[in-house]
Amino acid sequence: MPILGILASSYLAAKGSYESIATVTVGSGGVSEIDFTSISSTYTHLQLRGLSRTTRLNSGDGDGIQIQFNTDTGNNYAWHFLSGNGSAASASAATTTNRVALFGGADDGGGSNEFGAYAIDILDYKNTNKYKTVRSLGGYDSNGTGNITFGSGVWMNTNAITAIKIKAVSASNLMQYTTFALYGIKSA
């Protein structure tokens, strides 16, 4: 039987290439943010795999997540995305902003128990000679509607990433059962 979705990415790499660092699952009542801290510098890249749903009520239009690194809230991030819903495509971008915004998540205005899924790569996270690049594939299905989104971003800072903060783009809460798992990717 083929393995589909976010889980498939763990089987595409050589055995032992991905190492689980931490997993956070939101409990009852939701939270405003998820934090991964004290990230070790023993890997080459990082990957976040997640399922998200926010308290935003927007008739199923979806929501996204935003990522900040090392508690940096300065305007030294940029991002863009391409999105399609089966009948139309859209794109957007932002420069000199205070976050990497990644779209493709679900909101509370959609169907019940609807979650968006993400696979997010954070490349060369410990390299202190370059800015940090993020790429993301996300999406959700809302009983035949929904979207799929490819996004990327950059943190214009050469510091090694030691912490990651995840919040809803809409500033609403992340709902119960939202889950993000952080993996370290070892070099080949």
Chosen CATH of 18-185 out of 2.60.120, 2.30.29, 1.10.10, 2.60.40: 2.60.120
Residue spans per domain, the chain: 18-185
Supply 12's token pair.
């595409």
pTM: 0.87
Q: How far is CA 38 from the centre of its chain?
A: 19
Per-residue pLDDT of the chain (188 residues; tens, 9 = 90+): 344 444 444 444 555 589 999 999 999 999 999 999 999 999 999 999 999 988 887 655 678 899 999 999 999 999 999 999 888 999 999 999 999 998 877 776 666 678 889 999 999 999 999 999 999 999 888 777 788 999 999 999 999 999 999 999 888 899 999 999 999 998 75
Give the contacts of 171 (CB within 8 A, at least 6 positions apart).
Answer: none
Please name which of 6, 114, 102, 143 lies closest in space to residue 54, comparing C-alpha atoms.
Answer: 114
Q: Break the chain down into helix, strand, coil percent, rounded to 5.
A: 5, 50, 45
